[in-house]
Amino acid sequence: MKILLVDDEQEFVTALAERLTLRDMDASVATDGEMALALIDTDPPDVVVLDIMMPGMNGLDVLERIKSIHPGIPVILLTARGATKDGIQGAKLGAFDYLIKPIDIDELIQKLNEAI
């Protein structure tokens, strides 16, 4: 399973990628929206895990772009706010689900499996 993790918190996203790799998943990392979109264009993943709160282009904008170019790729949103407004907005834009940070790795894996 090819997963793209998008988050501006590099410490968080690299550790998470490493953990998923340990579980035999192909996890790549992007630390901002442009980078993520570029990666998706060159090598489309099976699923994208996307943080909503990012400087520059935020998660919801990135989600919109992904959905317009690759509507088939499921996106799981991450948020530290737990604000459901974001969740609802995400769902409207076609997100598969959303998780609140800090996340439980098992829960994430479960959602990833559901998404594919």
Partner 1 sequence: MTFNFKKLLNIKEIFQMLTEVKSSEERYQKLRRNMRILMIGLTIFPLSMMAVINYHQYQRSLREEIITPEKVLANKTRHSFEFFLKERLSLIKSISYFYSYEQLSDKETLNHILYTLKKEFSGFVDLGLINGTDGHQLCYVGPYTLEGKNYAEQSWFQELMLRGTYFSDVFMGYRKFPHIAIAVQRLEKTGHSWIVRTTIDTKMFDNLIAAMGLDADGDAFVINKEGIFQTDSRLYGKVLERCPLKISNAGYATYVDERKDPNGKDIVITYTHLTYPEYTLVIVKSRSTVLKTWYALKSDLFLVFLISSILIIIVVFRLTRTMVYRIKVADQNRESAFRELQHQHKLSSIGRLAAGVAHEINNPMAIINEKAGLIKDIIEYTPDFAQKDKFLPLVMSIVNSVDRCRTITHRLLGFAKRMEVEIEHLDVNELLKEVLGFLEKEIFFRNIDVSLELAENLSAIDSDRGQLQQVFLNILNNAMAAIEDKGRIIITTWEKNINGVAVSIQDNGCGMSEETCHKIFEPFFTTKKEYGTGLGLPITYGIVKKLGGDIEVKSKEHEGTTFNIFLPKNQFLKNGAS
* Residues in contact with partner 1 by the rule CB under 8 A: 9, 11-12, 15-16, 18-19, 22-23, 53, 80-84, 88, 100-105
Structure tokens at 12: 């968080």
**Smallest Cα–Cα separation from 47: which of 14, 100, 2, 104?**
2
Q: Least distance (Å) from partner 1 to the CB of residue 69?
A: 28
Of 14 and 94, the one with the shorter C-beta distance to partner 1 is 14
Question: What is the spatial distance between Cα 88 and Cα 105, in angstroms, rounded to a whole number?
Answer: 23
Of 38 and 83, the one with the shorter C-beta distance to partner 1 is 83
Q: Least distance (Å) from partner 1 to the CB of residue 101?
A: 4
Question: What is the spatial distance between Cα 103 and Cα 100, in angstroms, rounded to a whole number?
Answer: 6
